Structure 1
């Protein structure tokens, strides 16, 4: 039975970390190490983690000496991991029963696969499931993968970057189990991105690596009522920064055309929301950037001239 390193970043996670830790401890694949990396918590979460350490030697705690953010905490976990396989779980999310075994069991059936990624479901602040089978419920995704929604089966994604850009990014932080050597080859998470630092990592990881998507739900992603992702402008800016980051990587040069188009769409949408919020100067600037990237994108022209006329 292969050893799996489960990496869990934590910052002031006392409210949910018990549930997160116990969801890992209850897995039927028992050969794992749970690496919790604390990033300077000031609440009771470290005490809770130590409580579990005394009960189960598979739980390990590491402390970042300075605050490095969630990406820095994951990177510390990568440095400390000793398993043949690595996966990630945030301290407010929940690993569903059988999650580790259902993913790892696919490796024997699909030779040469070093990444196995599943589906996710959403839950609220009280751990109530609010929606399930996020990817498998999207017709455009199942159609692109050739999945029969009535009898879904695993699918090998040969060119993940192309799939991510043309259809959807179907790897989420808690969904993949990754062979350690692939993580080492990919390197570390980018620590200076406010949004989509995990997505930038998956893009780099799948650039030269195919992966297996399985339709099984492997974790519950907790949506908070006060989630920062509710800030639409910040999320759109994060998308722009993600595509700018990819565009500046030489290894993504063959995807420049589609990356520029994706960036133009995000800039145009950002300009629209900024215009509606009467931020006309910045809306005009972003609409112009979108036009430069893709002059044939009509909505960007509309946003540009509307912002010029100070029309919301």
Structure 2
């Protein structure tokens, strides 16, 4: 019989963090889940560190051939999942205790909900807390999916959070062709938004994930590229889902996204100085 929940982890050169990431999943109190890990031809010993978990019956270790970028590994590991629900945890992030059971129960209790998300803690590369709780601004109640999408577009920021914050119905992810990489800097938010056009959003108000921030994710080069991709994605939503995103929503979201890009650059500078 298939497990109720699949946790999927794409890894690539995560050797310093991957064991902690896996342990944060395997120590969860959920009693019916699998962990599928696909390593994308890491060269730093990530694959070797994963072998210590190979004997756990809940764990499946896969390899992904080099090339194709993150899209190839995200989709490979997600396509291997068999559970009714799916949560992705990247190889340098962590889960807080209890989040798998709590979010599974939310989806169990709300059969018309396609996705739930929780606030996350943001830490630096050394695990020191930068922000204790972030996310879900405007999303603290259950609502139709298109309404949740509108809230996030108007905020100019991904209030759903990184993949570790989110649990969704695997069928909806699969029917949408897995991860939506047309706008790669927004792949998580863009994927959630497409899924939410199929059903309701129900929040998980407890901090349940830890996102590790580092200079490579928050580089100065990201600022201009991300702002342009945000505009492109908002335009895509307005064209394909006008019931969710109006031209006014699009304009408000674009202005706020530009401000967020500046804040990200400041955050990168602060992080870089902190790590010296």
TM-score category (smaller protein):
0.7 to 0.9
CA contact (8 A) 2:118 2:203 kept: yes
Matches within 5 A, 1:48-127: 48-53=49-54, 55-127=55-127
Instruction: Point out where structure 2 has 5 or more consecutive residues left out of the alignment.
Output: 263-276
Q: What is the CA-CA distance between 1:257 and the residue it aligns to?
A: 1.0
Structure 1 residue 157 displacement after superposition: 2.1
- The alignment's TM-score, normalised by the length of structure 2, stands at 0.81
Contact 1:236 1:269 in 2 (8 A): no
How much is the aligned-residue C-alpha RMSD, in angstroms? 2.8
Corresponding residue of 2:229: 238
Question: How many residue pairs were aligned?
Answer: 256
Report the TM-score when normalising by structure 1: 0.73
- The residue that corresponds to 2:216 in the other structure is 227
CA contact (8 A) 1:165 1:258 kept: no
Counterpart residue number, 1:199: 189
- 1:23–1:94: 8 Å Cα contact kept in structure 2? yes
Greater RCO, CA 8 A, separation 6+: 2
Judge conservation of contact 1:239–1:266 (CA < 8 Å) in 2: no
Higher Rg: 1
Q: Report if aligned partners of 1:229, 1:235 keep a CA contact under 8 Å in 2.
A: no
Structure 2 distance, partners of 1:254, 1:108, is: 26
The counterpart of 1:156, out of the listed 126, 131, 142, is: 142
Q: For residue 127 of structure 1, give the secondary structure of its aligned residue in structure 2.
A: coil
Distance in 1 between the 2:89 and 2:242 partners?
Answer: 28
For residues 122 and 65 of structure 2, what CA distance do their matches in structure 1 show? 33
Give ranges in structure 1 of 5+ residues lacking alignment: 148-154, 273-312
